[in-house]
Chain A
Amino acid sequence: DAGVIQSPRHEVTEMGQEVTLRCKPISGHDYLFWYRQTMMRGLELLIYFNNNVPIDDSGMPEDRFSAKMPNASFSTLKIQPSEPRDSAVYFCASSLLNTEAFFGQGTRLTVV
């Protein structure tokens, strides 16, 4: 398996624009996680899914953020409208129940 695949690897956008981050989990994994990493706040769990259903979205910072998982092999994290404080590295990870999470390479988002 190629591992967790995220796209794009880098994204630069202007404030107010919509940003969509994409993730393909490892085949067969039934948990999918979105994390955000910043210098100030470290690694924060934004939301996670089990069998394509959102289980806990308490980490989503505000209504500008939304995440979907339309099928077992694809998830998106959308920010609309984007703001400079959203600049961070966003990681997607997947796992099986009670096993370790496998992380993608991340998407480095810069909002100018």
Chain B
Amino acid sequence: AQSVTQLGSHVSVSEGALVLLRCNYSSSVPPYLFWYVQYPNQGLQLLLKYTTGATLVKGINGFEAEFKKSETSFHLTKPSAHMSDAAEYFCAVSSGAQKLVFGQGTRLTINP
């Protein structure tokens, strides 16, 4: 069975500071990994994904994530936070079975 653990249900950073949202996964097969963002009262929007190939993936809005198989991690980073980054972020894992399993989410707050 697959699972995702997001460390920290709430993360608060200052505008301009580094954003780091942590995600660890468990999968018995090579995983596909995703980060989604959810703004209030909206659906989930894909930020970035890892399927195969390069382990450092870049996404929209300046975000990137690195797949580290040895650490079973897929942490999300952004060098400089912007007020518009305030949202809830979800890490997800799937296998060839196509079933997406989500973490519990991390609410990101940006302090001016």
Answer yes or no: do A and B interact: yes
> Considering the chains assembled together, what is the distance between the CA atoms of A95 and B42 in angstroms?
18
Partner of A42, one of B34, B45, B51, B102: B102
Please tell me the number of chain B residues within 8 Å of chain A, measured between CB atoms.
21
Measured CB to CB, the closest approach of chain A to B108, in angstroms, equals 16
Partner of A91, one of B43, B46, B96: B43
Q: Which residues 4-36 of B sit at the A interface, judged by CB distance below 8 A? A: 32, 34, 36
Partner of B42, one of A100, A102, A105: A105
A103 touches B45 (CB 8 A): yes
Please tell me the number of chain A residues within 8 Å of chain B, measured between CB atoms.
22
Q: Type the 1/0 row for A90-105, where 1 means its CB is closer than 8 Å to any CB of B.
A: 0101010110111111
A104 touches B51 (CB 8 A): no
Say whether B77 faces chain A, with CB atoms less than 8 Å apart.
no
Measured CB to CB, the closest approach of chain B to A32, in angstroms, equals 11
> Considering the chains assembled together, what is the distance between the CA atoms of A95 and B45 in angstroms?
13
A98 touches B51 (CB 8 A): yes
Given contacts A42-B105, A98-B32, contact A48 B43 (CB under 8 A): no
Partner of B101, one of A45, A98, A102, A104: A45
Task: List residues of chain A with CB within 8 A of the CB of B104.
Answer: 42
CB-nearest residue of chain B relative to A105? B43
Task: List residues of chain A with CB within 8 A of the CB of B102.
Answer: 42-43
CB-nearest residue of chain A relative to B6? A42
> Considering the chains assembled together, what is the distance between the CA atoms of A106 and B42 in angstroms?
7
B100 touches A98 (CB 8 A): no
B42 touches A48 (CB 8 A): no
Measured CB to CB, the closest approach of chain A to B51, in angstroms, equals 7
> Considering the chains assembled together, what is the distance between the CA atoms of A83 and B49 in angstroms?
37
Selected A-B contacts with CB under 8 Å, 7 pairs: A33-B100, A42-B102, A91-B43, A98-B96, A100-B34, A103-B44, A104-B43
Known pairs A91-B44, A104-B43 / 14 extra A-B pairs, C-beta < 8 Å: A31-B98, A43-B105, A45-B101, A48-B99, A55-B98, A56-B97, A95-B98, A98-B96, A100-B34, A100-B49, A102-B46, A103-B36, A105-B42, A105-B43
